[in-house]
Structure 1
Amino acid sequence: QIPKDPAQRRIRELASLSKRLQQVHPNVLAKVLKQGTVYQNEEIVVINKPYGIPVHGGPGIKNCIADVLPILAKMLENMKAEPLHLCHRLDKETTGVMVLARSKEAAEKIRLLFKTRQVEKIYWAISLGDPDPAEGIVEIPIVEKEVQSHQSHYKMTLAPNYRLSPEDGKVVKIRKNRNAESAVTRYRLLASSSACSLLELQPITGVKHQIRVHLAYGLGCPILGDHKYSHWSKLAPQKLPEVTLKRLKLEQSKARHLPLHLHAHRLSLPLGKQIDLVCKPPLFFLKTLKKLELDIAKE
């Protein structure tokens, strides 16, 4: 059945659009990526990654970015063009700046820049609640753990090096978890309204789901539409504050259709000269900002 409310309809449309993009002929996906090209030179092609498309294939995935790179290269250059190469990854639900290399050598060079933390990455996220303080650094290691519940599943979570002693409230060092990876995220509040915030995020490290985990479990401000990290033990849709639902014209029962509002906004690549790449957020993100009255005119 079609939801009567236009907002709910749009959210459903986005979900079905990303599903369709996963089902379309690879040529169609390649064309969408080509239309989203934001920069190219002799070494790289930079695209604005669409929502809901995985970077890598896997069971049950028909279309992914990796698979259409040969077609995209031909569309951008000519039929003899060698396939483009992936240089880094973005989660399936994340949108924004994605760098592709035209040759294996360029790809290796760029991967090394990412690995040695020479690439500056700036993300935008809409989160529930405001972080306190409004600006800071989250530096808490992250580890993958199995969640024991009626549906057993794996999640990334915090593995802090310190805890507060219940007896005297002093900070005590804990034995380090062998499997934990160190993770550092800078954050800054850009705007807040309707029980939500627009945050600018700079991950210094690149751990899986780092921004999502640091926001949800480190700052207590999960990303809007992050159903995975809004609860610990259960797989359930995110619970939204009344005022947020009202502004989004959404019922709580439809919250599960809300997309993850995390966007790779800017990237600085030191390739000979500094290349600054910017991708504007997707339409659904901009519409949410408007509905929640999160004003980014200053930015």
Structure 2
Amino acid sequence: MIVLRRQTRINNLQPMTSDSAHVLWRTLTTAPPLPSPEPEEKAPLRAIDLAKKIRQEKREEERTTKGIKPTATPLQKRVSELKQFTQQLQNVHPNVLAKHLHKTMLFQNRDVIVLNKPYGVSVKDHGGGTCITAVLPILAKMMDLKVDSELQPCLGLEKEVTGTLLLARNQEAVDNIVYLHRHNQIQRKYWAITVGVPVPSEGVIDIPLIEREIAGTQHHFKMGLSPMFRLNETGEGVSRIRAHRQAESAVTKYRVLDSRAGCSLVELEPLTGTRSCWLLYCHGQLSCFEVWDCITSRCSFLKYYKLPENVLGKLGLEKSKTRNLTLHLHARQMVLPGTTSQPEIRVSCPMPKYFTKALQRLNLIFPDEKEPN
């Protein structure tokens, strides 16, 4: 390639011969094309912009050093709030859990103790996290109970259910509670937040339950409804069918305490000892379901219902964060019948913070807070 050099003085230019012109022409025609011009570069960063960037980086570094997290979005704050309310006691030292149970104790006498069970803590050991049964010896020491006194949980609650948990202090109390429970003499009332409004607003449901085997990649068992009546082929009237031999009797009394914008606060009173019947009824019979329906608490691969957009908005969540929503089922009240030697025992348990927050977000009102008619 021939490089032409511009002379600084015009009078130094030499006349071009024919051979030189031929060489120049051949060079120009055979030379590779010049590269396309590069796009114009962005304007250089101004000093004021650079100063702002440095200040921002320094501020973030100071926050990290001091342990202050960057400003979170409203969604991140809401998810963090739910985790704080529901995961505080799931993996703590046994002494910490025992101290919390002792501090929040609801009732005690010489025969029984009623605890305020927190969310996410199992009553019995299922192979994960701290359970209440494991810390009962520590709790007994904190209460200065006798050496031969052994606390035993009765009428246990599911891991995701909060509220009144009954403990017996001696074997005689255990036998008495078993007798009362078998004859349906212990009254228990639960409060649940549902999506949908039960129709009618008050009534009694009597549908047996049966445990069914669910095949598939994740083999498990699940409680389901086993109705004793079916709709006729004509669509008019019902016919009684033979009850399944393995079906368990399940009767639940319910009433709507408050409803607003498609959500309800429902009181459930199981009249039989069948577990999880009120959860199944909420989904299958009352035409509504729990904010997080945990029908088979033994399974860790639960399916979550798709909540309506308006409900998610009120709860401050998005579809991608639905798994952070907790089961809203609370054992509100327990009543043990009196005897000749002691009066009736009636214990009410305050609502957990995440439950009251959900009520506030959904504009649901406690019965005692409603304005008189």
Say which is worse superposed, 169-178 or 74-83, in terms of deviation.
Answer: 74-83
Between the aligned partners of 2:291 and 2:95, the Cα distance in structure 1 is 32
Q: Does 1:41 align with 2:109?
A: yes
Q: 1:4 matched to which residue of 2?
A: 73
Q: Does 1:187 align with 2:258?
A: no
Which is richer in strand? 1
Between 1 and 2, higher relative CO (CA 8 Å, sep ≥ 6) is seen in 1
Q: 1:212 matched to which residue of 2?
A: 279
Between the aligned partners of 1:24 and 1:83, the Cα distance in structure 2 is 23
Partner SS state of residue 119, structure 2: coil
Q: 1:221 aligns with which of 288, 295, 312?
A: 288
Between the aligned partners of 2:170 and 2:278, the Cα distance in structure 1 is 30
Matches for 1:140-289 after TM superposition, within 5 Å: 140-226=207-293, 228=295, 235-272=302-339, 273-289=343-359
**Residue identity in the other structure for 1:184:** V
In structure 2, do the counterparts of structure 1 residues 204 and 227 end up closer, same or farther at CA, with 3 Å as the change threshold?
closer
Give percent identity, aligned residues only.
42
Q: TM-score, normalised by structure 2?
A: 0.74
Between the aligned partners of 1:298 and 1:93, the Cα distance in structure 2 is 26
Measured against aligned partners, the alpha-carbon deviations of 1:149-199 in whole angstroms (never above 9, x if no partner) come to 443322111000001012242201112111110100000001112321000
Measured against aligned partners, the alpha-carbon deviations of 1:82-132 in whole angstroms (never above 9, x if no partner) come to 221112111111100111111111121112111210011111000110000
Measured against aligned partners, the alpha-carbon deviations of 1:3-26 in whole angstroms (never above 9, x if no partner) come to 632222212333432xxx232221
Instruction: Point out 4+ residue stretches in structure 1 off by more than 4 angstroms.
Output: none
In structure 2, do the counterparts of structure 1 residues 11 and 163 end up closer, same or farther at CA, with 3 Å as the change threshold?
same
Q: Which runs of 5 or more residues in structure 1 are unaligned? A: none
Between the aligned partners of 1:117 and 1:128, the Cα distance in structure 2 is 29
Between the aligned partners of 1:126 and 1:295, the Cα distance in structure 2 is 11
Between the aligned partners of 2:123 and 2:221, the Cα distance in structure 1 is 20
Partner SS state of residue 307, structure 2: coil
Q: Which runs of 5 or more residues in structure 2 are unaligned? A: 1-68
How many residues align? The count is 291
**Residue identity in the other structure for 2:102:** K
Between the aligned partners of 2:211 and 2:145, the Cα distance in structure 1 is 43
- Judge conservation of contact 2:90–2:129 (CA < 8 Å) in 1: yes
**Residue identity in the other structure for 2:80:** R
Between the aligned partners of 2:133 and 2:143, the Cα distance in structure 1 is 16
Per-residue deviation, 1:228: 4.9
Q: Does 1:292 align with 2:362?
A: yes
- Judge conservation of contact 1:195–1:243 (CA < 8 Å) in 2: no
Between the aligned partners of 2:158 and 2:295, the Cα distance in structure 1 is 13
Query: RMSD of aligned C-alpha atoms?
Result: 2.0
Q: 1:67 matched to which residue of 2?
A: 134
Q: Which has the larger radius of gyration?
A: 2
**Residue identity in the other structure for 2:350:** K
Partner SS state of residue 138, structure 1: strand
- Judge conservation of contact 1:226–1:259 (CA < 8 Å) in 2: no
Partner SS state of residue 278, structure 2: helix
Between the aligned partners of 2:338 and 2:178, the Cα distance in structure 1 is 12
